[in-house]
Chains A and B, each alone.
Chain A
């Protein structure tokens, strides 16, 4: 009886079996910047395939792919992506686009890093000044990049000034705004972020702040249920002329957020 009712209830939920869709595990930066809101309707109009985005940190998104809970992962941490493919969870990593990281900090700038062109020098100065720095601390692509910069700066980030919040980009920015702290952020999320308080972009343009995104089909040999055809269609569209143009077209306040570079990769290899 109860089981029957349960079946009835579950059946009453929005029917979804008919819709052609894939699930893509991606990052908060691509989702919350509004990029997917711009790309996906175009993709669906062209192919009839709906894309369901689960937005997480890169580490978590790759875990979702590992467990077979997504058909495609679309993330930004090359070493972790290469590992994902090497372990046999993904078919192939294909580069799609890049944006960049920026170092955000209080306008008063107690560590005096404004307009530096060297991110590692900026990080060293923050540590030397003992100025509060908020770290994502969540194994995301941005967190991985931040840890690389500390390593290159020769600084072990630890102490009362270094606050690991274990949260996504937005919540971490909220924390930094409340603490008037320094933080590493991707430009797209920053431009979409409303609660800026007294924070501003202080360091940008260092080549090392380059942030590459890659897309990977989850390996159907590991997870037989992966929607291979639709997943391949999505990837092909992203790196093809239509997808690349749509990425370049996406702007906030006249500023382009993501720079397509799939073709460049193909030429190089």
Chain B
């Protein structure tokens, strides 16, 4: 076991220090796809979560339960749904998006939208309880209240977005199905790891895993630095 780990570490170090262009292209594609997906999910999910937090409507508690449950959407199921949607035989087939990076962005955005919306809903709702009277007395319209509360809770929401990013960057089930793991086109870190595993090259697969974890770590460190700068 420790020998395996050592081999994996040296495989990872070898790949990175050799400046393997193919590896960097794969890392770049992974980042691009998952960051775009999380951006889309945040653009839709944050306002959506805030809206649900503020609004009272019939069936609201049911909506909250469903939204929370959807945080556990299996990636492979999302992948299949998007596959059937984008397949040439499916409703969006004419767009020709299947087996492209765009298809992977769509699948990951759907996968993490509930995570972003559900967590934002809880955070904004807690904040709303605190500020409700103030905002009401100022006569804030709902849109203003949503904007104010999202801004007020922005630091907590950064963590929400990072959770969404982590989920997107780590999943393999959805991108494998809708991307097809095509060399040089839709091969991401996770599908490359799955591929090396199936070739039985376990040290290389684990080494790629270390590189992926380091990449996710770098994104989180960057977010933390930005957050610190903003807080100052």
Residues of chain A touching chain B, judged by Cβ–Cβ distance below 8 Å, are 2, 5-6, 9-10, 12-14, 16, 23, 28, 32, 37, 52-55, 66-69, 168-171, 173-174, 177, 192-196, 223, 225
Q: Does B183 contact A (CB under 8 A)?
A: yes
Q: A68-B87, A68-B93 are in contact. Are A52 and B99 (CB under 8 A)?
A: yes
Q: Does B139 contact A (CB under 8 A)?
A: no
A190 to B209, CA, bound (A): 24
Residue of B nearest to A66 (CB): B89
A37 to B182, CA, bound (A): 12
Residues of B within 8 A of A23 (CB): 99, 182
- How extensive is the interface on chain B, given as a class? 20 to 34
Residue of B nearest to A16 (CB): B100
Q: Are B98's CB and A170's CB within 8 A?
A: no
Q: A54-B180, A194-B200, A225-B88 are in contact. Are A13 and B99 (CB under 8 A)?
A: no
The 3 nearest A-B residue pairs measured at CB? A170-B198, A195-B200, A68-B88
Q: Are B32's CB and A13's CB within 8 A?
A: yes
Least distance between A228 CB and chain B CB atoms (Å): 15
Residue of A nearest to B98 (CB): A69
Residues of chain B touching chain A, judged by Cβ–Cβ distance below 8 Å, are 29, 32, 36, 39-40, 43-44, 87-90, 93-94, 96, 98-102, 105, 180-183, 185, 195, 197-202
Q: Are B100's CB and A194's CB within 8 A?
A: no
Residue of B nearest to A13 (CB): B101
A173 to B99, CA, bound (A): 27
Number of residue pairs across A and B with beta carbons under 8 Å? 87
Least distance between B205 CB and chain A CB atoms (Å): 10
Which one, A13, A193, A196, contacts B105 given CB within 8 A? A13
Can you give 14 A-B contacts (C-beta < 8 A)?
A: A2-B40, A5-B40, A6-B40, A13-B100, A13-B102, A13-B105, A16-B185, A32-B199, A53-B183, A54-B181, A69-B89, A170-B197, A171-B197, A194-B201
Q: Are A195's CB and B202's CB within 8 A?
A: yes
Least distance between B152 CB and chain A CB atoms (Å): 22
A14 to B36, CA, bound (A): 13
Least distance between A28 CB and chain B CB atoms (Å): 7
A35 to B192, CA, bound (A): 18
Residues of A within 8 A of B87 (CB): 67-69
Which among A16, A54, A223 has the greatest number of chain B C-beta atoms within 10 A? Answer: A54
Q: Are B96's CB and A225's CB within 8 A?
A: yes
Least distance between A233 CB and chain B CB atoms (Å): 19
Which one, B40, B99, B101, B105, contacts A69 given CB within 8 A? B99
A32 to B205, CA, bound (A): 14
Q: Are A52's CB and B182's CB within 8 A?
A: yes
Q: A16-B100, A67-B87, A223-B88 are in contact. Are A10 and B201 (CB under 8 A)?
A: no
A31 to B119, CA, bound (A): 42
